[in-house]
A and B are shown apart, each in its own frame.
Chain A
Amino acid sequence: MPDDPRTGDLGRFAEPAMLVLVSLAGGAKHGYAIMTDVESFGGAAIGPGTLYAVLARLERRGLIEPLGPQERRRPYRLTMDGAAALDVQLQEMGRFVRAARARQPGTAT
């Protein structure tokens, strides 16, 4: 993912950040909901420490933003920037998948 400056320097948090962005693309969620959602759509489970490390990074880069707290839980939603960054990443991955498929023998695209 190094192409997009918005998500380029996340280091070991790049992959969980991607999962969180995808999860939030489906609507605003609070921390626990993000964790269960990520597990349900088949990404690797994210621990609470990793989750908040990722949330802090994404928030700092303006890719997500917090909404007003509901009791002690605070939902987050994707910003326009975040949606754009996710889109760039997904297109990138799509290109990668198509390129990989094209190399598989016996599979015409």
Chain B
Amino acid sequence: MESPMPLRLVRFLLAAYPRAYRDRYGAEMAAVLEERMASWRDLLDLARGALDARLDPQIEPPRVLAAAAATPPTAPHVAAPTVRASYGVVASGPPIRELNRRTFMRRVLAAGVALLSLEFIGGTLAFTWPQVRSGLGGKFSLGTTADIIALQPSWAAGWPYPYTTARLFLINVPAAKELALGHEASIPNPRADQLLALWRKCPHLGCQVPQLCEALKRFTCNCHQSTYNILGEKLKSGPASRGMDRFGVSIGGDGVIVVDTAQVTAGAPNLGPNHLTFSDPFPWDAACR
């Protein structure tokens, strides 16, 4: 229980005392603590003492001297307090501004009010900040169809083009249908209404949907095996209740494909095989393995 307290901690605690205290008593207190092999109970006692010294400083010789000097001449001279400067060092040293209880409380209050208003003002400003226009909600230029084919030649044959910055698959719809049906096609210039931007966030729990599986040309989420056809329509397998969500796609005058991620269309609900706009040759309930 009387395990010694590290010297560093002792110094730290002494530093918590007000300046005037340290000047006056610091050296002897340190000497006492070294002789005593201060225990952890002393630590608490010191912390309490430091708090006490801050709240109710009992030591203020310089101020007493100053007050005595400032006594107006009208006051009877005999009544002036006799100031005992019994120790020379502190009394003759530079005046030390001591924090009294009232000032301390006032400063704590002021700091609290300042902090509160800062939070309030900061919160208000944060609300007026413009909405983020990059990331989700922004518009993304994916380049022309030629650019995409240069990056990924299989896109012309129907393989989805993963655009990772916006977490989407750009689908070349006519080519994709041919691919899913098992045909080889090359459709390098689909129109804007033949493009589909599928959000790669599974509508079930938000996992990222991986690239098509080779065997069925279907999307299957790794998390819970929700399965979608090549146009992102939900098939039987897996718990998702609707198809993959879609972003708005347009082609600008310069041929650049632009995806607007602020414009989201929810995938069609999972109503059964007759409600799909496209059926691949595999059974409705088949899932990628």
Contact = CB atoms under 8 A, between A and B. Distances in A.
Contacts, number: 73
B46 A49 contact: yes
The interface residues of chain B, by DSSP majority, are classed as: helix
The interface residues of chain A, by DSSP majority, are classed as: helix
A66 B82 CA distance: 18
A48 B58 CA distance: 16
B52 interface: yes
A6 interface: no
Interface in B11-37: 21, 24-25, 27-33, 35-36
Contact of B31 (A32, A50, A62): A32
Contacts of A69: 27-28
B31 A47 contact: no
A51 B46 CA distance: 9
- Chain B CB within 10 A, most for which of A51, A53, A62, A69: A53
- Chain A CB within 10 A, most for which of B24, B31, B47, B84: B31
Contacts of A32: 31-32, 35-36
Interface string A62-84: 10011001011110000000000
A77 B231 CA distance: 96
B59 A72 contact: no
A55 interface: yes
A52 B214 CA distance: 82
Interface of B: 21, 24-25, 27-33, 35-36, 38, 41-42, 44-50, 52-53, 58-59, 84, 86-87
Given A31-B31, A48-B32, 19 more contacts: A30-B28, A31-B28, A31-B32, A32-B31, A32-B32, A47-B41, A47-B42, A47-B44, A48-B49, A52-B21, A53-B49, A53-B58, A56-B24, A56-B58, A59-B59, A62-B84, A66-B86, A71-B31, A72-B28
